[in-house]
Amino acid sequence: MFERTCCTKDNIMRLEDLGYNSELEKFRSDHNLTAFETGRVIAEHKERYIITTTKGEFEAEITGNMRFTAKSREDFPAVGDWVALTTYESGIAIIHRILPRSSVIRRQAVGQFGEIQIIATNIDCALIVQAVDRDFNINRLERYLTVCNSSKVASVIVLTKIDLISEPGISETIQNVKARIKNVPVIAISNETQDGYEAIKSTIEKGKTYCMLGSSGVGKSTLLNNLSGRTLMRTDTLSQSTNKGKHVTSHRELITLENGGLLIDNPGMREVGIVDTTSGLETTFDMIVSLSQNCRFKDCSHTNEAGCSVLEALEKGGLDEASYENFLKMGREKAHFESSVAEKRKKEKIFGKIIKDYYKRDIKQKKY
């Protein structure tokens, strides 16, 4: 089942080392969960979870009741979650409850419109990883940033493989990113030469949880291995050439780094569908939002209206055209996602009513 490469039973930790805090402890005592143990989900594989506790690692499943009452994916544990569980000598455990999440990073489930997939939970900061060679694409950076802003998770952009381009090329790339994306730190590194590693190391704090997001082959697992001081995740070049699109990392995993930071590695993502239900887009494109305050119409779509300040800025060169196009594209996607969720809810409601009516009829028939 799991291709386990890390965190053996000898590797027992204090819960605080895994990011546990007083808020979680308060919830535990307020909700009579003290009879259970507490642990953190560090890996997941088809509804089986690896949980780290103060007693070591356990392979866990959820209770039947949890599965029965689950309404959506969000009701199942995810990597990063804190859970109340019962552990057994055999190394098996049962999860009874998920403790409240401080953050959830979500995307649209690939190929299932209107469905959400949880990438990770309880994240303090996301590392958006992109290589400066052929993977480089600022639209995609904005997309990841929107995913993080929707979750109210802080982000840092990590540009990898700088050993593959020239010094002026590196400066130009960083400048291009900064011209479009303000207020997000950008760190340029090479996993080969370890240039830029000091900046990464000083970003990652002990007891805080970080999650790497990015395409396949950009060097996420290589970075994790180097920062952990051990070879924990398999890395490869397969996805780069002969076997395009094949992910080397096949599951999510939370790993404790040498400096005490907690880092979640993810399989590379090909599609990052927006599920923004909050103001993630607005945060990412705050310049467009502030320009739109001066549009003549309140419900301006910024596409063809007279008196549109966004279009005016675009014409005068005060707004990046690619950024504007990306904003509109993700806005359409967001609207589409919201309408498909609404449609799904409507269908579920109708189906719920059919079931209810059926039972009502059934009871009536039994009565007479």
Per CB under 5 A, residues contacting Zn ion are 295, 300, 302, 308, 310
Q: Which does 239 bind (CB under 5 to 8 A by kind): ligand GTP, Mg ion, Zn ion, none?
A: ligand GTP
Our separate counts of H helices and E strands in the chain read 10, 13
Alpha-carbon gap, residue 110 to 78, rounded angstroms:
17
**Residue (59 or 305) nearer to Zn ion, CB:** 305
Nearer to ligand GTP, 84 or 126 (CB): 126
Residue 107 contact partner, candidates ligand GTP, Zn ion, Mg ion, none, CB within 5 to 8 A by sort of partner: none
Q: What is the largest CA-CA distance in the chain?
A: 86
The answer to whether the Cα torsion of 162, 166, 172, 175 is positive or negative is: positive
Closest CA to 127 of 208, 51, 52, 192: 208
Residue whose CB is less far from Mg ion, 214 or 331: 214
Of 165 and 313, which has the nearer Cβ to Zn ion?
313
Q: How far apart are CA 208 and CA 300, in angstroms?
A: 41
Minimum Å distance from CB 110 to Mg ion? 18
Please give the C-alpha separations between residue 154 and each of 88, 105, 127, 145, in angstroms, as whole numbers.
37, 11, 9, 9
Answer yes or no: are the C-beta atoms of 60 and 49 closer than 8 Å.
Answer: yes
Binding mask 186-225 for Mg ion (x = CB under 5 A): ----------------------------------xx----
User: Least distance to ligand GTP from the beta carbon of 212, Å?
Assistant: 8
Tokens of 357: 């009516």
Task: Select from Mg ion, Zn ion, ligand GTP, none the partner in contact with residue 87, using the beta carbon and a kind-dependent cut-off of 5 to 8 Å.
Answer: none
Q: In angstroms, rounded to a whole number, what is the distance separating the alpha carbons of residues 131 and 358?
A: 56
Tokens, residue 3 = 């291709």
| Residue 115 contact among Mg ion, ligand GTP, Zn ion, none, beta carbon within 5 to 8 Å by kind | none
Among 249, 292, 309, 326, binds Mg ion (CB under 5 A): 249
Q: Which amino acid is at 270?
A: R
Residue among 142, 158, 151, 173 at smallest CA distance from 203: 158
- Helix, strand, coil shares, percent, the chain, to 5: 35, 20, 45
Phi and psi (nearest 5°) for 43? -160, 155
In angstroms, the CA 38 to CA 31 distance is: 13
Q: How far is the CB of 220 from ligand GTP (least distance, A)?
A: 4
Among 241, 246, 238, 253, residue whose Cα is nearest residue 268: 246
Q: Least Å distance between CB 310 and Zn ion?
A: 4
Tell me the CA distances in angstroms from 113 to 101, 106, 116, 344, one per residue in order: 24, 14, 8, 10
Closer to ligand GTP by CB, 56 or 267: give it: 267
Residue 140 C-beta: closest distance to ligand GTP, Å: 14
Closer residue to ligand GTP in complex, CB, 87/235: 235
Closer of 69 and 166 to ligand GTP (Cβ):
166
Nearer to ligand GTP, 109 or 238 (CB): 238
Which stretches of the chain bind ligand GTP, using CB under 6 A?
160-161, 163-164, 190-192, 216-222, 235-237, 239, 247-249, 267-268
Decide which of Zn ion, ligand GTP, Mg ion, none touches 326; Cβ closer than 5 to 8 Å per partner kind: none
CB of 308 to Mg ion, least distance (A): 43
295 binds, among ligand GTP, Zn ion, Mg ion, none (CB under 5 to 8 A by kind): Zn ion
By CB under 5 A, how many residues form the interface with Mg ion? 4
* Shorter beta-carbon distance to ligand GTP: residue 244 or 347: 244
Smallest distance from the beta carbon of 308 to Zn ion, in angstroms? 3
Backbone angles phi, psi at 265, to 5 degrees: -95, 145
| Inter-residue contact 239 to 216 (CB < 8 Å) | yes
CB of residue 234 to Mg ion, shortest distance in Å: 7
CB of 148 to ligand GTP, least distance (A): 17
Residues that bind Mg ion (CB under 5 A): 220-221, 248-249
